[in-house]
Each structure stands twice: as C-alpha cells, then as structure tokens.
Amino acid sequence: MLVSLWGPNKTIGFLGCSVQLFIFLSLGTTECVLLSVMAFDRYVAVCQPLRYATIIHPRLCRQLASVAWVTGLVESVVQTPPTLRLPFCPHRQVDDFVCEVPSLIRLSCGDTSYSEIQMAVASVLILIVPLSLILVSYGAVARAVLRINSAKGRRKAFGTCSSHLTVVILFYSSVIAVYLQPRNPYAQERGKFFGLFYAVGTPSLNPLEYTLRNKEVKRAFGRLLGKDGDSREN
C-alpha cells in the first residue's frame, strides 16, 4: 500500500487486491483479540498482583496468542472469498487507499446485502465484543486504582495501563469509524482517512507507546542522546 501511495502507479491487480484484503482482515482481527488479551493482563496485574505469576503463566500466554492468530486467520478465510465474488463495476476504481471490505462493497454493482450482513456480524464479534471486554477490564482496574491510598501506587498502576489504553483508543476509534460508519459520502471520505490512520499511523505509534515508559529504553535513549551530544561537540 505504501509503495502504491508513493509511486506514480496507483493501480493494483485483482490478485494483489485479494492478498491485501486477506492480510488486512487477518492482522486487524488478530490485533483486536490481542488488545483484549492485553487488557486481561493489565486487569490481573493491577487487581490480582500477588497471583499474577500463577494466572499469567507461559502456557496461558501461548494459548491466548494462538487464539488471537487463529481467530484472525478464520475471520479472513470466512470473509475474503464472498467479498471477492461480488460483481464489481466495469470501471473497477477502488475509492480508498487500500482494498478493504467496505470499499469493495461500494465498488460492487450487484446485490451486496449478504456481504453487508456478514460485515455487520463480523464487526460485532471482532470489534464490539473485544472492546466490551476491554471496557469491563478497565472498569475493574479503575475501581482497584481508586482504592489505592498512596499517590505513588496510583501513578504506578496508571503507568501500567496508560500505554495499552492509548493504543486501544487510537486503534478502535479509527477501525469503528471505517467499519461502523453510516452510508453517506461524508462518512465514506472520513472513513478513508481513518482507514489510512489505523493501517499506517497506529502501527507506527505502537513502538513509541509501548516502549517509552520502559526504564531500560529511557536509559538507552538518554545514553544515545548523550553520545550524539558528545560527538557533535567533538
């Protein structure tokens, strides 16, 4: 997608569009599930700190990671073929930055009711259900944080959740704007921007959100800046 946006050639073949759709659906679904798994991890870390090592053991982590990847693969396998079998219009101009289900449905000149129902059901299962679990987890975390007497303890608990909560807000707000938008031209134009944001912007910000609060990363970053300062002085 980035190569197409940068270069003069803005066309994509049917095979390339199919691969792009499959990958976007698979990775997007996987991230939705992983974010809910991470919310559960934060819930245990804040609300059950003494039992954290017992509950979040390596075997459970592997199982949850496998569930996330398998769910993404299944969702992509189920939704990609019906979308690609739609009767597309002769001009074949995808009004979007990337081949996604909403943009391909708008490109169709036939009956899209089945694909729209399928997308709505998938949106509820993949977006609304994980987001609800995340909100429930953070509701319990908020109650636990408010019961902490010391300000230092509250800051530490907030620091444990702040990075993940920021990513959740950025990712889910943009994905919901793409897949749960009303059918009008303004919403579609806005959906293209949000689609580009969650496809490019959110993954680019993830490393910063997750690592800048890490003490080792902060020290390494400080040392790097110090060395750069010394070299500029020399």
User: What is the dihedral sign for C-alpha 75, 76, 81, 83?
Assistant: positive
Separation of alpha carbons 136 and 39, rounded Å: 9
- Mean pLDDT on 143-147: 82
Q: Find, among 119, 105, 107, the residue nearest to 176 by Cα.
A: 119
What percentage of the chain reaches a pLDDT higher than 70? 82
Give domain status of residue 95, yes or no.
yes
* pLDDT average, residue stretch 47-74: 90
Residue 231 has pLDDT above 50, yes or no: no
Assigned domain for 19 exists: yes
Q: Does residue 211 fall inside a structural domain?
A: no
pLDDT range class, residue 143, cuts 50, 70, 90: confident
Q: How far apart are CA 47 and CA 39, in angstroms?
A: 12
Q: Is residue 72 part of a domain?
A: yes
* In a domain? residue 226: no
Pair of tokens at residue 58: 């390596």
CATH number of the domain that 68 lies in?
A: 1.20.1070.10
Whether 71 is in a domain gets the answer yes
- Structural domain contains residue 219: no
DSSP 110: S
How many domains does the structure of the chain reveal? 1
Range of the domain at 143: 12-205
User: What pLDDT score was predicted for residue 69?
Assistant: 94
Would you say residue 233 lies in a domain? Answer: no
Listed range (51-65, 68-82, 126-140, 156-170) with the worst mean pLDDT: 156-170
Tally of CA atoms within 13 A in the half-sphere of 97 that contains its CB:
19
| SS3 of residue 88 by DSSP | strand
